[in-house]
Structure 1
Amino acid sequence: MLAHTLTGPDDAPVLVLGNALGTTTSLWRDFALPFRLLRFDHRGHGDSEPVPGPCTIEDLAADVVELLDHLGLRQVYYCGVSLGGMVGMWLAAHTDRISRLALVCTTAWVPDKGRLESRLALLRAGGMPAVVDSVVARWFTPGCSAGVVERFRDGLLGVDLSSYVSCLEAVRDMDLRADLVKIDVPTVVIAAAQDHATPTELVRRIADELVDSELYVVGEAAHLAVVEAPRTISVILDDHFGD
C-alpha cells in the first residue's frame, strides 16, 4: 500500500495529487485548495515501501487504484505532475475512477529515449549521486531559491535507487499516445515555458488529442512548475475542479 495522507473537509470532493519522479508529497507543500486532498508517494519514494523488480505505468496506476479501493473512494479528481500525469492519463483512459483530470508538465511518450538511457547508465554505475545535480537542474529555473533547490535535491537522494530506476524505465518505455482519445473527462493541461524536460510542444500534443481540454502555459517556471508557480497553478486547478 502506498504511503499517503488524506486531509481537508470530509464533505469536499477528493483531489488526488500525483508526484513527479524523484519527488514526494512535499511537492504540494505550498498548495491550499478547497478540496479533500489525497497525497501519495510512488513506490520506493518518501514513506512508500520499494517494490522489487521492473514496473510499468500500468503497474504504478494499479498502485493508485489499490489505494482508492482501500480508502473506499469510487471516483475522484486527479492532478499529476510528470510521472504523476502519466499515471493520471492511464487511469483516465483505462478506468472510470477519474471524473476530472489535470496534467502538469508531462508527456504521453518520450521521443528522446537516449537521454534517459544515459541517465540509467549513470545510475547503475554511480547511484543517485551521479545524476542528482543534472536532474535537479532541469526541475527549476536559474532564479529559483537555493533553499528550494537544496530541499528537493535532498529528497531525490533519499529515494530508493532500485525503485527510481524501475520508474525511470517505465517512463522510457511508455507510449500513451493511442490512449489519449479514450480520455473523455474534462481535462486541464499545464505546460511551463522554461521546462526542458517536457517542452511545451510535447505538452501541447496531449491537449490537441484530448476530447475536452484546455491548455495553459505558465511563464516563470521549469519542470516542477507547481513549486515555482504554486499560486498561478492553484488558481487554474481551483477553476477547473471547482466548476
Structure 2
Amino acid sequence: MRRVLILGGTAEARALAASLTGAHVVSSLAGRVTDPRLPAGEVRLGGFGGAEGLAAWLRENRIDRLVDATHPFAERMSAHAAHAARATGVPLLALRRPGWAEEDGDDWRRVPSLPAAAGALPRGARVFLTTGRRSIPVFAARADAWFLARSVDPPEPPVPSNVEVLLARGPYTVDGERALLREHRLDVLVTKDSGGAMTRAKLTAARDAHIPVIMVDRPPLPEGVQATGDVAAAAAWAQG
C-alpha cells in the first residue's frame, strides 16, 4: 500500500485525501487557521522544522509519494517540499487549482506582489481587502486609504485605525458580496489569484458594480516540479 503525504488544508487536498482509498494517507496542515476543515484519514498539525525537517519526516515515515496541495501562495512550503523531495528521492506532485480568468466586463489590474498591489491603489480608495490577515500591515501603510479586511481568523493586534476587520469564512454568495460593496461604499477590490469557486463571488460582484480589481499574480512553482489542477489525475499519480 502506497504511503502518501498530502501537504495543505485546501479543498483540493481534502478531495484528494477522500479519494485515496487504496493508500495510507497522512494530511499535513500548518495549523495557522483556527478550527480548520479536516480531511479524511490521518491528520498531522504543525510545521516540520523547515525543508530538512520535512525530509527527515519523509524518511522516518517511509513516504512513497508527496503531494503539495498547499494554497497557491504558500511559496515557502512549496520550496520546502521541492527541497525535501530532491533530498529523499520521494516523487513530488503539485496539485494546484486553476487560476481565475478575466471575463467580459471585468476591470483587472494584475500586479506581481502585495507591495505592488498597495502601490497600485488609487489615492483615497475604499478597499475591499481579501488577501489574508498577514497582509494587512502591507496595505495599512497607505494612510490615505480605508480598508475592509476580510479574514478567517483575527489579525495580530494592534489593528491600524484605517482598517476594519470582517471575520468570515467562505463560500460566499454574489448577493452577499454585492451587499458588502454597497454597505461600505467600497470602490476597489484587492485579491490574490487563488482560483476556485469558493471565493469567486467577489469578482462577479465587482464586475457588476464596475469596480476595478487589483489581482496579485501567483508565485511560480519551484523549478522542475510537476503540477496538475485535476484531483483525479493527482489520485492516479499518487496510487500509481
* TM-score exceeds 0.5: no
> Scaled by the length of structure 1, what TM-score is found?
0.41
More helix by share: 1
More strand by share: 2
